[in-house]
Protein backbone atom coordinates (compact mmCIF):
# COMPACT_ATOMS: atom_id res chain seq x y z
CA UNK A 1 0.00 0.00 0.00
CA UNK A 2 1.41 3.42 -0.91
CA UNK A 3 2.20 5.86 1.93
CA UNK A 4 -0.53 8.34 0.93
CA UNK A 5 -3.12 5.53 0.73
CA UNK A 6 -2.00 4.33 4.17
CA UNK A 7 -2.52 7.84 5.63
CA UNK A 8 -5.99 8.06 4.05
CA UNK A 9 -6.91 4.63 5.41
CA UNK A 10 -5.59 5.62 8.83
CA UNK A 11 -7.59 8.87 8.78
CA UNK A 12 -10.74 7.00 7.72
CA UNK A 13 -10.17 4.40 10.42
CA UNK A 14 -9.61 7.13 13.04
CA UNK A 15 -12.81 8.89 11.97
CA UNK A 16 -14.72 5.58 12.02
CA UNK A 17 -13.48 4.69 15.50
CA UNK A 18 -14.30 8.17 16.86
CA UNK A 19 -10.60 8.97 17.29
CA UNK A 20 -8.99 12.30 16.44
CA UNK A 21 -5.50 11.43 15.16
CA UNK A 22 -3.06 14.25 14.61
CA UNK A 23 0.36 13.60 13.11
CA UNK A 24 2.52 10.92 14.68
CA UNK A 25 2.77 7.78 16.77
CA UNK A 26 1.83 4.17 16.20
CA UNK A 27 -1.80 3.28 15.70
CA UNK A 28 -2.90 -0.35 15.98
CA UNK A 29 -6.41 -1.55 15.22
CA UNK A 30 -7.09 -5.25 15.01
CA UNK A 31 -4.16 -6.76 13.08
CA UNK A 32 -3.20 -3.55 11.23
CA UNK A 33 -0.54 -1.12 12.45
CA UNK A 34 0.25 2.26 10.93
CA UNK A 35 2.98 4.66 12.01
CA UNK A 36 2.78 8.40 11.52
CA UNK A 37 5.58 10.68 12.73
CA UNK A 38 5.17 13.11 15.69
CA UNK A 39 1.69 12.17 16.99
CA UNK A 40 -1.00 13.23 19.30
CA UNK A 41 -4.03 10.96 19.63
CA UNK A 42 -7.24 11.87 21.41
CA UNK A 43 -9.72 9.15 22.28
CA UNK A 44 -13.07 9.68 24.00
CA UNK A 45 -13.00 8.23 27.52
CA UNK A 46 -9.22 7.72 27.62
CA UNK A 47 -6.98 9.02 30.36
CA UNK A 48 -3.40 9.77 29.32
CA UNK A 49 -0.58 11.18 31.43
CA UNK A 50 2.18 12.86 29.44
CA UNK A 51 5.62 14.01 30.47
CA UNK A 52 8.33 15.28 28.10
CA UNK A 53 10.53 12.42 26.83
CA UNK A 54 8.24 9.66 28.16
CA UNK A 55 6.48 7.10 25.99
CA UNK A 56 2.77 7.02 26.78
CA UNK A 57 0.47 4.07 26.06
CA UNK A 58 -3.29 4.40 26.24
CA UNK A 59 -5.47 1.30 25.97
CA UNK A 60 -9.18 1.43 25.23
CA UNK A 61 -11.71 -1.41 25.56
CA UNK A 62 -11.46 -3.58 22.46
CA UNK A 63 -8.53 -3.92 20.11
CA UNK A 64 -7.57 -0.20 19.86
CA UNK A 65 -4.16 0.80 21.30
CA UNK A 66 -2.21 4.01 20.72
CA UNK A 67 1.45 4.37 21.66
CA UNK A 68 3.36 7.61 21.20
CA UNK A 69 6.29 9.62 22.46
CA UNK A 70 4.97 12.38 24.72
CA UNK A 71 5.84 15.94 23.76
CA UNK A 72 5.50 19.25 25.53
CA UNK A 73 2.82 21.51 24.07
CA UNK A 74 2.89 25.25 24.58
CA UNK A 75 -0.44 26.97 24.26
CA UNK A 76 -0.69 30.68 23.68
CA UNK A 77 -3.87 32.47 24.52
CA UNK A 78 -5.20 34.34 21.55
CA UNK A 79 -6.04 37.96 22.10
CA UNK A 80 -9.72 38.72 22.50
CA UNK A 81 -11.68 38.67 19.27
CA UNK A 82 -13.17 42.07 20.00
CA UNK A 83 -12.33 45.15 21.95
CA UNK A 84 -14.21 46.94 24.69
CA UNK A 85 -14.11 50.70 24.94
CA UNK A 86 -12.96 52.75 27.92
CA UNK A 87 -16.64 53.69 28.35
CA UNK A 88 -17.64 50.03 28.66
CA UNK A 89 -15.07 49.43 31.40
CA UNK A 90 -15.96 52.67 33.25
CA UNK A 91 -19.58 51.51 33.42
CA UNK A 92 -18.92 47.82 34.14
CA UNK A 93 -16.43 47.81 37.00
CA UNK A 94 -18.07 44.61 38.28
CA UNK A 95 -16.66 42.87 35.17
CA UNK A 96 -13.05 43.73 35.99
CA UNK A 97 -10.90 40.64 36.55
CA UNK A 98 -7.58 40.85 38.38
CA UNK A 99 -7.63 44.63 38.76
CA UNK A 100 -9.49 47.11 40.94
CA UNK A 101 -10.94 50.48 39.89
CA UNK A 102 -9.14 52.04 42.89
CA UNK A 103 -5.76 50.54 41.99
CA UNK A 104 -3.24 53.12 40.79
CA UNK A 105 -2.37 53.15 37.12
CA UNK A 106 1.33 53.26 38.02
CA UNK A 107 0.97 49.94 39.89
CA UNK A 108 0.34 48.30 36.50
CA UNK A 109 2.19 50.59 34.10
CA UNK A 110 5.35 51.54 35.99
CA UNK A 111 6.15 54.35 33.57
CA UNK A 112 2.85 56.11 34.27
CA UNK A 113 3.71 57.59 37.66
CA UNK A 114 5.66 60.56 36.36
CA UNK A 115 2.73 61.45 34.08
CA UNK A 116 -0.39 60.71 36.13
CA UNK A 117 0.84 60.42 39.73
CA UNK A 118 -1.62 58.46 41.84
CA UNK A 119 -4.44 58.39 39.30
CA UNK A 120 -6.44 55.16 39.57
CA UNK A 121 -7.21 52.77 36.73
CA UNK A 122 -10.79 54.10 36.74
CA UNK A 123 -9.44 57.67 36.66
CA UNK A 124 -7.28 56.80 33.64
CA UNK A 125 -10.35 55.45 31.82
CA UNK A 126 -12.03 58.82 32.29
CA UNK A 127 -9.39 60.23 30.01
CA UNK A 128 -7.97 63.62 29.58
CA UNK A 129 -5.45 64.83 27.11
CA UNK A 130 -3.65 67.95 26.14
CA UNK A 131 -1.03 69.20 23.73
CA UNK A 132 2.02 68.22 25.80
CA UNK A 133 3.64 64.86 26.58
CA UNK A 134 1.56 64.46 29.76
CA UNK A 135 -1.60 64.90 27.68
CA UNK A 136 -0.37 62.23 25.25
CA UNK A 137 0.38 59.91 28.18
CA UNK A 138 -3.17 60.34 29.50
CA UNK A 139 -4.57 59.50 26.06
CA UNK A 140 -2.37 56.38 25.90
CA UNK A 141 -3.23 55.25 29.43
CA UNK A 142 -6.97 55.55 28.75
CA UNK A 143 -6.64 53.20 25.77
CA UNK A 144 -4.12 50.96 27.56
CA UNK A 145 -6.30 50.40 30.64
CA UNK A 146 -9.28 49.45 28.45
CA UNK A 147 -7.11 47.03 26.45
CA UNK A 148 -5.63 45.61 29.66
CA UNK A 149 -9.10 44.89 31.08
CA UNK A 150 -10.38 43.34 27.84
CA UNK A 151 -7.33 41.11 27.48
CA UNK A 152 -7.44 40.02 31.13
CA UNK A 153 -11.18 39.28 31.03
CA UNK A 154 -10.64 37.19 27.90
CA UNK A 155 -7.87 35.20 29.63
CA UNK A 156 -5.04 36.63 27.54
CA UNK A 157 -1.54 37.68 28.54
CA UNK A 158 -0.96 41.37 29.23
CA UNK A 159 2.84 41.31 29.55
CA UNK A 160 3.44 42.55 25.98
CA UNK A 161 0.91 45.35 26.38
CA UNK A 162 2.45 46.50 29.67
CA UNK A 163 5.97 46.42 28.18
CA UNK A 164 4.86 48.39 25.09
CA UNK A 165 3.09 51.05 27.16
CA UNK A 166 6.05 51.41 29.53
CA UNK A 167 8.46 51.70 26.57
CA UNK A 168 6.33 54.37 24.88
CA UNK A 169 6.06 56.36 28.11
CA UNK A 170 9.80 56.00 28.77
CA UNK A 171 10.55 57.42 25.32
CA UNK A 172 9.13 60.77 26.41
CA UNK A 173 8.25 61.31 22.74
CA UNK A 174 4.71 62.58 22.16
CA UNK A 175 4.50 61.06 18.65
CA UNK A 176 5.59 57.61 19.90
CA UNK A 177 3.12 57.75 22.78
CA UNK A 178 0.24 58.82 20.51
CA UNK A 179 1.09 56.18 17.89
CA UNK A 180 0.63 53.40 20.45
CA UNK A 181 -2.50 55.10 21.82
CA UNK A 182 -3.95 55.09 18.31
CA UNK A 183 -3.24 51.37 17.83
CA UNK A 184 -4.81 50.46 21.17
CA UNK A 185 -7.79 52.73 20.53
CA UNK A 186 -8.46 50.91 17.25
CA UNK A 187 -8.37 47.55 19.07
CA UNK A 188 -10.74 48.86 21.74
CA UNK A 189 -13.24 50.17 19.20
CA UNK A 190 -13.81 47.18 16.91
CA UNK A 191 -17.52 47.29 17.73
CA UNK A 192 -17.68 43.70 18.94
CA UNK A 193 -16.92 43.75 22.66
CA UNK A 194 -17.24 40.08 23.69
CA UNK A 195 -18.60 41.06 27.12
CA UNK A 196 -21.35 43.44 25.97
pLDDT tops 80 at residue 40: no
pTM attached to this predicted model: 0.60
Q: Are 139 and 129 in contact (CB under 8 A)?
A: yes
Q: Where are the beta strands (DSSP E) in the chain?
A: 20-21, 26-29, 32-35, 41-42, 55-59, 64-69
List, in sequence order, every beta strand (DSSP E) within 17-76. 20-21, 26-29, 32-35, 41-42, 55-59, 64-69
Q: What is the pLDDT of residues 167-179, one digit of tens each?
A: 999 999 999 999 9
Give the total number of structural domains in the chain. Answer: 2
Q: Lowest-confidence range among 47-51, 84-88, 156-160? A: 47-51
Question: What value does the mean pLDDT of the chain take?
Answer: 72
Write the DSSP string, 152-164: HHTT---HHHHHH
> Would residue 27 count as lying in a domain?
yes
Asked if residue 74 is part of any domain, the answer here is: no
> Is residue 136 located within the same domain as residue 183?
yes
My answer on whether 30 and 95 are in the same domain is no
What is the reported pLDDT for 31? 39
Q: Give the pLDDT band of residue 164 (cuts 50, 70, 90).
A: very high
Do 91 and 155 lie in one domain? The reply is yes
In this structure, the chain runs to a length of 196
Q: Which residue has the higher pLDDT, 190 or 42?
A: 190
- Tell whether the model's pLDDT for residue 1 goes beyond 80: no
Q: What is the per-residue pLDDT across 90-142, written as a single tens digit (0 to 9) for each?
A: 999 999 999 999 999 999 999 998 999 899 999 999 988 999 999 999 999 99
Is residue 93 located within the same domain as residue 184? yes
Indicate whether 79 belongs to any domain.
no
Write out the residue range of the structural domain in which residue 146 sits: 86-188
Are residues 95 and 42 part of one domain?
A: no
H-assigned helices in 17-120:
86-91, 113-116
Q: What is the pLDDT of residue 127?
A: 83
Asked if 90 and 54 sit in the same domain, the reply is no
Q: Is the pLDDT of residue 63 over 70?
A: no
Residues 26 and 52 reside in one and the same domain: yes
Is residue 63 domain-shared with residue 114, that is, in the same domain? Answer: no
pLDDT of res. 92: 95
pLDDT band at 65 (very low <50, low <70, confident <90, very high): very low
Mean pLDDT of all residues in 52-78: 43
Region 151-164: mean pLDDT is 94
Cα torsion angle, 179, 180, 184, 190, sign: positive
Residue 77 lies in a domain: no
Q: How confident is the model at residue 81 (pLDDT cuts 50, 70, 90)?
A: low
pLDDT at 82: 73
Amino acid sequence: MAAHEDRRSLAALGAFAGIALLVGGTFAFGGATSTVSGATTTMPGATTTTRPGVTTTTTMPGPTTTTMLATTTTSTTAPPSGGCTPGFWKNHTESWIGYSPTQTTASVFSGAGSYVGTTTLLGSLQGGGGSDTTGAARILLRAAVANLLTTTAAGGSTSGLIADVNAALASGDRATILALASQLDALNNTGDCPFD
